[in-house]
Structure 1
């Protein structure tokens, strides 16, 4: 049975629902206009898209009992690659989802409810924009890979259904190491956590763990400083390119790898300011204020965007530009 939506005629205020769908679990957060918050987290049981959908329906139903007003709109953080036909094309963490029509599957869960989805990085930017009150935010997430997102007053760019803001696959070093995407010198291949550790190991002459890198950086050991500084410089190159094209008002650096290294954000900021040209000042660079919850908060923010602009939502669903 489908969980009821805001269209079911409830008189209670409807909530904005955000879902962060990951490879091992799903997190849900509902926020009402009055400030009430309800959350649920559930791990997937077994494998298979049918089982996952059943699990998701159960969790949504349980959450709905705590939010009698239903859901005004639904935003979804989905790390899978979704094609223009709304079907999952690639998702290494949950390959069973390949071929799933995301829009149809979610519409069954939330009939007559505006909904949309985006990549983690895109929604992280939206979450940081809401948290900081800045209309235009560039987000850079440094972890196993490099995630990115650009939020404007209208929502994540380039826009729902038009792909993700793939900052990690901007080429910053044409002669750099090969990237898993098939190109050479992508930001992800030169500035991700694994790439930084590999560089540190080469400079140190021995294998370097994340803990050892952090200790080396704390003690300003040359090999550690050089390894991280190179990473931060490459990130700054990518940020500068975006700055020239889109002029974000704020750059936010997040991700588990960056968060645990002392001075990482300051090093990125230093290089961003050094790369600025006369007449085009560098944007401020700050650490993430949402931590590991950026995707979930961003999904809620997306729900608010969709719920407040029905015409935009209808256009997204039909792929016809509003006008």
Structure 2
């Protein structure tokens, strides 16, 4: 769907929503939100914000963006929590899923991690290594940028396209030399198997950690769904702010309580984690364009898209109000 058509459809939904006022209350609507690592559900539960939602929300859990895209194409989802690359890959495959919300951390939550017995001190030492490559995942653009900083190309490494769920075991068994992992797996594998993060300080400066909520376009033409999404995004931003202000409580709930990370490991995770930030669509567009350009220049997508047409701004006011503490 082209941006003009998409925005026209969204406009119809907004006009309909305005014309009926609050007749379609959010609590009459069910929202199906794709989750990963059950992060969104746990964040809303830990902060207490889920109780404030007067609507029914389901959180089917997925292992990565490609599986979410298939469920979205099948009409099984309303909105989805994804990393920075899935919206670009979806668009490259002919499916424009509008981004409705963005949240970032200044420091990436991805880590280039080497197998037991292999220590990598410089990004340039990635040359010739067997490296995991999860196409359609945020890990993809993170790896490409790491190679860019080292003056390398994808052709300079041996790529193994793996599922996200298989990455820890692939690294543990030395099926790959380097994998792009997230916590708690970096800490676990370092302690249990002797894996180690890539030591080059530049690795921590590659890209911020960016995630999005994108929507099935048809959802944005439904006034009841639009109101439900507004309520959901308000609760999510408030929950994120809560996690910034209650870091130890969040770590105990999610990392220790849900992911069964030891308290010591949870502390290590928090030390490497910067606060959540919630940009509007206008604020998020420049970085999204950078990601598109990285993938295009690496040959991972065939067209250099205009990032502006990947976003809709109809929820920007909702996000601004929530991050400022008003409703």
Q: Going by fraction, where is strand more abundant, 1 or 2?
A: 1
TM-score of the pair, normalised by structure 1: 0.29
